[in-house]
Amino acid sequence: MDLTQPTPENVSYMIEQIKEKLRMVNVDAMKAENFSTSQYEDLRYIYDMVMKRETITPNEMQAIVTELGSMRS
CA angle, corner 46, sides to 36 and 34, nearest 5? 25
In Å, how far from its chain's centre is CA 29?
12
CA distance 36 to 22: 21
Question: What pLDDT is attached to residue 28?
Answer: 67
Helix-then-strand count for the chain, H and E: 3, 0
Question: What pLDDT is attached to residue 69?
Answer: 86
Question: What pLDDT is attached to residue 23?
Answer: 82
Please give the chain's pLDDT, 73 residues, in tens: 899 999 999 999 999 999 888 887 666 667 888 898 999 999 999 999 999 999 999 899 889 988 988 888 7
pTM over 0.95: no
